[in-house]
Amino acid sequence: MMPVIFVFCLFLILVSAPAYAYVGPGLGVALVWTLFGPIAAIVSVVAMVAYFPLRYYYKKRKHKKNQDVAQAGAESDGADVDDVDDVDDRD
C-alpha cells in the first residue's frame, strides 16, 4: 500500500501546474514570527524557572553577607555576638 501512495504523491507533484502566484514579503515575515514564537516561549519559560532559584540564592547570600558584616562590627565594638539582630530582608 505504501508504494501506491508514494507513486500517487510523486505523480501529483510532477504533474501539478505552476500557480503563478505572488509571494510577497508579508509571507516571509509571518513565517519568521511563526517560528520565533515557540522559541521565544521556550526561552521565557526557562528564564522564569531559573529566575526564582537564582533570586533565592542571591538573597540568601546577601543576607549571609549582611549578617557576617554585622557580626564583625559587633565583635570589633566589643559587644556580644549573640546581641546582633538578624536582618531579614526577604520579600
56 located within any domain: yes
CA-CA distance, 60 to 89, in Å (whole number)? Answer: 9
Contacts of 80 (CB under 8 A, 6+ apart): 74
69 located within any domain: yes
Q: Which residue has the cell 565594638?
A: 77
39 located within any domain: yes
| Predicted TM-score (pTM) above 0.85 | no
68 located within any domain: yes
What would the pLDDT profile of 25-35 be if each residue is shown by its tens digit?
A: 888 888 889 99
- Would the CA dihedral through 26, 29, 35, 38 be positive or negative? negative
Instruction: Show the domain range for 45.
Output: 23-74
For the chain, the domain total comes to 1
Percent of the chain with pLDDT over 90: 24
Contacts of 83 (CB under 8 A, 6+ apart): 74
9 located within any domain: no
